[in-house]
Amino acid sequence: MSPEKNTEPKKPTPTPIAPTGDIKQGTIAKFMRKRTQLVGFETGLNKHTQYAIEFLDNAIDALESWWWKSKSRPRLRDSLDPEIIDQVKKKIEEEQFDSIALSKRLERDVRAGKAIELPPRKKDTIDESITDFRKFMMPLRPLLSKREPIVVMQLTEVQMPDLIPIDDEEGFKVYEFTCFDSGVGMVPADLEKFGIYLASSKSEKLRQTRGSQGFGAPSAFSDAQNTTGKPIFTISKRFDADVATASFFYTTTSNTKDYTGGPINLELPFNHGTYIRLHYLNIQYRRGYADIYCEMASLLNAHASIIFVDPYGTVNFYPRRVDIFPDEPKYAQPHPSSIRIGEFQDLLRETNEPDLKGFLVNAFVRLSDNKAKKIVSEASKDLRKRHLDSITLKTPTDSLSKIEVELLYRAFSNEEYIAPPTDTVVTVGEEVFEQTIKLAYKPDFTAAVTR
């Protein structure tokens, strides 16, 4: 008798799982989180200056953007009214105190074993922050009512013994940094991207600008969070919007935002602008760094009033000294002399132009139809020497072989080109600079030269 056959179905052979590999891809935010010193946020006296640099640059850009975009510009006097300067400065000074002297006194009392009383630590709530913002804005009303272009930065040493020991042997202190500008402001969509690495309104086009890569504010936010663990508070109102947007947030290593409050819409007593408040850890502030930077920046930006309040409670007021803004720099196409083979290949891959003529003439400045014809002709000669087919001005840009691109670039780079147009760079101007220096320092002699 024959044995019974096994009728059970065969089990399918499992598909082998592909190994995942050992290389992991990180994010730019995670990389920069612990490397903010690469862009200037390294512990030391210059760190205070770096905060002033990053946010003052952003603020001046915002003021100029508002001026260039607005259809209803205010009529500015030749320079800021001295009466308004005195009025605003006096009101700001009434709210100030020497936070460094207070800190040193508390440290002495602690070392002497004395009992000390600290003001209650503020809660990180959006309502309290909005209240603080309203108090901050009160002295600025005479300037805001006249729609003056202003930037206000304030640095205060704060006591947070539950965060950093008050007698810390390293001498680190917690600083509250606040910045307001009456510039163009941000819509909620832009405010959501503000502080995210590589998020910038200026990185895609070539133009004279103070910054374009989206590293400054994100690195400041990273340093602030790294050293204090406190969130960032922002309020912004676009010049053509009806309401402002406020939010409390952390930026994350995945290059996103984690909101702890808001975003919420609200009505506030200013037409447009942006307000930022954060906290960071550093050695004790000393005069001669951030304050000097603000003074020098005011000379090159005489079309705006800059106010810097230091931790000693000193109000440094650098008033607007001219009634004209610089012209808006024009966007420029790349100049052929600055292009290398890799960038040339990238531009070819990314172009929307259907043929070589359109690519050469429209992708670069100072490259005419005749110049494009000559470049293609020279590249074709080299191709024929290699017994290859010629290319023409009508050759599709997406059909070029590797050797065709290389020979095209050789012909392209061997040409001589007219220098780029000068309207892409806007100088301060000799007359404006001389006037600024005279008003600021009253020297016996001034002279300025534009190169």
pLDDT computed for residue 330 by the predictor: 83
In this prediction, residue 35 has a pLDDT band, given cuts at 50, 70 and 90, of confident
Written out in words, the top-level CATH class of the domain with range 336-420 is: mainly alpha
Please give the average per-residue pLDDT across 302-316, as a whole number.
97
pLDDT computed for residue 378 by the predictor: 97
pLDDT computed for residue 281 by the predictor: 94
- In percent, the amount of the chain with pLDDT more than 70 equals 89
**Nearest-angstrom CA–CA distance, 298 and 418:** 35
Ramachandran region, residue 329 (left: φ > 0; alpha: ψ -120 to 50; beta: rest): beta
Q: Is the pLDDT of residue 439 over 50?
A: yes
Tell which CATH architecture fits domain 28-318: 2-Layer Sandwich (3.30)
pLDDT computed for residue 10 by the predictor: 65
pLDDT computed for residue 151 by the predictor: 98
Dihedral (CA of 220, 222, 227, 230) sign: positive
pLDDT computed for residue 122 by the predictor: 72
pLDDT averaged over every residue in the chain? 88
Range among 24-38, 152-166, 318-332, 351-365 rated most confident: 351-365
**Nearest-angstrom CA–CA distance, 167 and 106:** 9
> For the segment 324-378, what is each residue's pLDDT rounded down to a tens digit?
999 888 888 899 999 999 999 999 999 999 999 999 999 999 999 999 999 999 9
Range among 95-104, 178-187, 205-214 rated most confident: 178-187
- Of 381, 357, 1, 305, nearest to 153 by C-alpha is 305
pLDDT computed for residue 183 by the predictor: 95
Please indicate whether residue 267 or residue 8 has the higher confidence score (pLDDT). 267
pLDDT computed for residue 23 by the predictor: 76
In this prediction, residue 210 has a pLDDT band, given cuts at 50, 70 and 90, of low
> For the segment 161-173, what is each residue's pLDDT rounded down to a tens digit?
555 444 444 678 9
Please give the average per-residue pLDDT across 442-450, as a whole number.
90
pLDDT computed for residue 213 by the predictor: 60
Flag the least confident range among 112-126, 388-402, 407-421.
112-126
In this prediction, residue 34 has a pLDDT band, given cuts at 50, 70 and 90, of confident
> For the segment 341-352, what is each residue's pLDDT rounded down to a tens digit?
999 999 999 999
> For the segment 233-279, what is each residue's pLDDT rounded down to a tens digit?
999 999 999 999 999 999 998 888 999 998 999 988 789 999 999 99
pLDDT computed for residue 8 by the predictor: 62
Please give the average per-residue pLDDT across 123-133, as a whole number.
88
Q: Is the pLDDT of residue 323 over 70?
A: yes
How many CB atoms are closer than 10 A to CB 213?
A: 13
pLDDT computed for residue 76 by the predictor: 92
Q: Is the pLDDT of residue 287 over 90?
A: yes
Domain ranges of the chain: 28-318, 336-420
**Nearest-angstrom CA–CA distance, 151 and 132:** 18
> For the segment 187-199, what is each residue's pLDDT rounded down to a tens digit?
999 999 998 887 7
